[in-house]
Structure 1
Amino acid sequence: MIDWNRIAELRDEIGADDFGEVVEIFLEEVDDKIAELRDLTDKSDLESVMHFLKGSALNLGFSAFSDLCQQGETAARMGDGENIDLTAVIACYDTSKAEFLSALNKLDAA
């Protein structure tokens, strides 16, 4: 679900202090987009939302979430946005976020 190698790589690249800021920005931006998906009535912009989420997820190692977003982006691009399981996308994000934050808290405490 989470690519912990990517997390370690990013943390090493930017340092622990800046990593915390990156995580904070990531969570704020993605939480905002997920809130949009929860209340989505107009799916005309779904491809760009899924693209944004995919890229954000890849940057922070949310691999399973990124995969679902890639599938959704492709479906939306092909005109099949109505068949994207947004509930599954949102649930995957919620689960990934919980796993990530739990492990991150343990890492920070160590």
Structure 2
Amino acid sequence: MAKTAGVMAWFILIVSGLFESVWAAALSLSHGFTRLVPSLVFLGACAISMGGLAYAMRTLPVGTSYATWAGVGAVGALIYSFATGAEPITVLKVVFVLMIVGGIVGLKLV
């Protein structure tokens, strides 16, 4: 794998994970697809997220790609929930989120 291709794949993978957070939040806000704008945001973010994951998997291993994508999405969704007050922040939640981030960094390093 060329170094620039690998860097680009990781960048796109992280961005697609962030779009996973967007579609998760939009899905919640759509109230079962009964609200038009959040439903459209969900569809667009989902397409971008899946497309980015598929692109990254052309260069990166499937297990590493999927774990990173899901981890970034989960962390982003939790941050959104914390920021909007939908979910309370606890010390244990922060510790476990940091463990997810540490796992993602570890996957990048090995």
Please state which band the TM-score falls in when normalised by the shorter chain. Answer: 0.3 to 0.5
Q: TM-score, normalised by structure 1?
A: 0.41
Q: TM-score, normalised by structure 2?
A: 0.41
